Structure 1
Amino acid sequence: VKLSTDYGGKSQLNLGHLVDAQKQKRGEGFELRTDDWGAIRGGKGLFISADGQAKAQGPVLDMAAAVGRLQQAGEQLQQLSVDAQAANAEPADAAAQLNLLRRDLEQLKSQVLLLSAPQGIALTSGQHLQLAAEKNLMLNAGGEADLSVVKRLFIGVGQGLSLFVRKLGIKLIANQGPVQIQAQNDRLELIARHGLDITSTEDEIHITAKKKIVLNGGGSYITLEQSGIESGTTGDHKVKSAHFEYSGAAKQILEIPQLSPLTEHDHESLGLTDFSG
């Protein structure tokens, strides 16, 4: 079955056994195509699925498979969020994801688009690909997630970043170039239940503080500040040295990096375009 017009090149709806003008087989099923522009619109919602429904036996909006996968993803996120909160990390907004499913997506209760496939979905572009949401963006993977960027990756967060791993730890490695971690207007904490190692394999380690440095091990301590150096212990204090030399007073100039001030820019001060309408 073919419904066709040559206006604007060629626009066609082909059904069943598809052949070309020479009766050569092109495929089977259906094809909706045009050489001009195309639009698919459903004013109350749209469901596109590769889940099978043999011989049209079932409701048009039979989306049990899609809903089941989304439900499972939401529950997995909820479980990880509970573990993150127990570890004092920020929890995920799992409720927003489950509410989207129950209130909007299921049976197209709202003007939504649901796209589903049992074996996989691929999106590719010769140039740019954009995902945008005015509210929440949810990404779930039941197995692994891989993000590969050939050049530069920028992550901008307006109010907070929480990174939680349940097992096997975190690795942050730069093969070339420095690694910088800054808390520009607040504290920086490094805490470990067991050992904490700081090592320079081929150079020096510098620890600098504008006011005071306190080293404390088991209650024995040494304090370094502008007014002097103090050390104390309830046990033995042993000094081992081939040569010990006292000289006059001395100091070393502090080299304190300059950090950015506490600021919050709006789109006008940065010359950005406001697309909010």
Structure 2
Amino acid sequence: GHRNAAALSGFKSAEHGGRGYSQLVFDDSDGQLRTQLATTQAYSQLNLGHLIHQQDNRRGSFRGQGFELRTDGYGAVRGQAGLLVTTYRDAVSGQTVPTGDNAAGIALIKQAKQLTSSLSQGAVTHQTAALSTAKDDNAPLAEQEKAALGMVDGKALDTAKQDAASGNTTTQGKVPHQGEAMAQLAGRAGLVAVAGQDLQFANGESLALASGQDTNVAVGKQARVHAGQGIGVAAGLSQAGDGNIGLQLTAGQDDIDVQAQ
């Protein structure tokens, strides 16, 4: 076996009139295969496989396994036809699946749609406004589900392009390919979005938040909800909550002020 500099091969260029360089490295160390495409410009690198520190032809300490795309400059990920980022395996059965496969993510989309639709119907039964995102088959949740279910021909490129343009969802002889330019994020164990200062979620039409169990909002100072039209609240649509409570509103100090002007 070999785990020394002799295991390294590749190509390294030199900057004209400077000390910078670009390099392509193949590391064939036993059980530690690695490929690196790197440049000293903004220290931009793509590292694949067994990740380690490397200085010239010296192999350094272990840093992880998988892939790393990094730069000290600006980074962008663009997909004109759509983007899928998922932590679900692409081959649970051991068989390679199409690049656009997002079966687990689509299952969660379906669950969210069903939950939202069910509670929306319950709200209407109790004479409260329905959720606009789940009113019918043309509502945003249904449209997003349809786009996620996109399928294209797996043999002929021209036919595949036609399928993508038409939003095809039939499966016979097809492979998964989302039907709209959506960015899909699917986390098997969860998703975390944090910011040291401000965090903004904004959209041009509708926003749907759905959770199979609990949704909690904790605010350190003040919370405001402003609506240009109406605000509807419906609780206990399936059963009463803990302590047989349907809707609870509590002020720890001072008054509760409700006005109609």
Deviation at 1:104, TM superposition (A): 5.7
Counterpart for residue 175 of structure 1: 252
- Indicate the structure (1 or 2) with the bigger Cα radius of gyration: 1
Q: CA RMSD in A?
A: 1.4
Contact 1:45–1:111 at 8 Å: present in 2 too?
yes
Counterpart for residue 46 of structure 1: 83
Deviation at 1:110, TM superposition (A): 1.3
Deviation at 1:109, TM superposition (A): 1.0
Moved beyond 6 Å, runs of 4+:
none
Alpha-carbon separation, structure 2, partners of 1:173 and 1:80: 24
TM-score by length of 1: 0.64
Alpha-carbon separation, structure 2, partners of 1:29 and 1:102: 32
Matches within 5 A, 1:127-276: 127-165=197-235, 166=237, 167-168=239-240, 169-184=246-261
Contact 1:47–1:113 at 8 Å: present in 2 too?
yes
Alpha-carbon separation, structure 2, partners of 1:56 and 1:125: 38
Alpha-carbon separation, structure 1, partners of 2:149 and 2:119: 23
Alpha-carbon separation, structure 2, partners of 1:34 and 1:105: 34
Counterpart for residue 6 of structure 1: 40
- Correspondence for 2:141 among 97, 112, 115: 97
Alpha-carbon separation, structure 1, partners of 2:50 and 2:104: 28
CA change 1:156–1:137 in 2 (3 A) is: same
Q: Secondary structure at the match of 1:148?
A: coil
- Correspondence for 2:72 among 35, 38, 43: 35
Alpha-carbon separation, structure 2, partners of 1:68 and 1:79: 17
Q: Which runs of 5+ in 1 are unaligned?
A: 185-277
Matches within 5 A, 1:73-88: 73-88=112-127
Contact 1:2–1:15 at 8 Å: present in 2 too?
yes
Q: Which runs of 5+ in 2 are unaligned?
A: 1-34, 151-176, 241-245
Deviation at 1:118, TM superposition (A): 1.4
Larger RCO: 1 or 2 (CA < 8 Å, sep 6+): 2
Q: Aligned residue pairs: how many?
A: 183
Deviation at 1:103, TM superposition (A): 3.3
Contact 1:13–1:32 at 8 Å: present in 2 too?
yes
Deviation at 1:97, TM superposition (A): 1.1
Kindly indicate whether residue 56 of structure 2 is the aligned counterpart of residue 19 of structure 1. Answer: no
Contact 1:105–1:114 at 8 Å: present in 2 too?
no
Alpha-carbon separation, structure 1, partners of 2:195 and 2:46: 25
Deviation at 1:68, TM superposition (A): 0.7
Contact 2:50–2:65 at 8 Å: present in 1 too?
yes
Counterpart for residue 60 of structure 1: 99
Q: Secondary structure at the match of 2:60?
A: coil
Deviation at 1:177, TM superposition (A): 2.0
Counterpart for residue 162 of structure 2: none
Alpha-carbon separation, structure 2, partners of 1:28 and 1:128: 32
Counterpart for residue 24 of structure 2: none
Counterpart for residue 179 of structure 2: 109
Alpha-carbon separation, structure 2, partners of 1:99 and 1:29: 35
Contact 1:51–1:118 at 8 Å: present in 2 too?
yes
Counterpart for residue 243 of structure 1: none
1:131-181 deviation digits (Å, cap 9, x = unpaired) = 001001010000100011000111111111111112321110001121100
Counterpart for residue 71 of structure 1: 110
When you count strand as a share of all residues, which structure comes out higher? 2
TM-score by length of 2: 0.67
Q: Percent identity?
A: 33
Contact 1:11–1:34 at 8 Å: present in 2 too?
yes
Counterpart for residue 199 of structure 1: none
Q: Secondary structure at the match of 1:132?
A: coil
Contact 2:106–2:148 at 8 Å: present in 1 too?
no
Q: Secondary structure at the match of 2:229?
A: coil
Alpha-carbon separation, structure 2, partners of 1:155 and 1:56: 49
